[in-house]
């Protein structure tokens, strides 16, 4: 994700419009991310990933191949 880069460059005085244009992002998407850096979907995905890792750690006999 390049939004933290846009934020850091904006803090150094480089316009958000210029940075987003160079990176090919919309300013609207950047400002939406700035308002909520971690979306609900990302939190749910992280929870599910951790649950799968824990389940595999409990019973590591099977992987993605049998």
Residue 41 maps to a domain: yes
| 65 assigned to some structural domain | no
Residue 25 lies in a domain: yes
Q: Is residue 62 scored above 90 in pLDDT?
A: no
Number of separate domains in the chain: 1
Look at residue 63 in the predicted model and tell me its pLDDT. Answer: 65
Would the pLDDT of 26 be above 60? yes
For residue 47, being part of any structural domain is answered with: yes
Q: How many residues does the chain have?
A: 66
- pTM score, whole prediction: 0.60
Domain range spanning residue 40? 3-58
pLDDT tens, position by position, 4-14: 999 999 999 99
Examine residue 66 and state whether it is found in any structural domain, yes or no: no
Q: Answer whether residue 64 is part of any domain.
A: no
Per the domain annotation, does 7 fall within a domain? yes
Does residue 51 sit within a domain? yes
Could you give the C-alpha distances from 41 to 17, 26, 46, in angstroms and in order? 27, 20, 9
């Amino acid at each position: 994700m390049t939004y933290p880069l846009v934020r850091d460059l904006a803090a150094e005085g480089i316009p958000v419009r210029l940075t987003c244009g160079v990176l090919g992002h919309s300013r609207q998407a950047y400002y939406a991310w700035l308002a909520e850096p971690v979306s609900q979907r990302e939190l749910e995905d992280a929870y599910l990933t951790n649950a799968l890792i824990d389940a595999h750690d409990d019973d590591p006999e099977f992987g993605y191949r049998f």
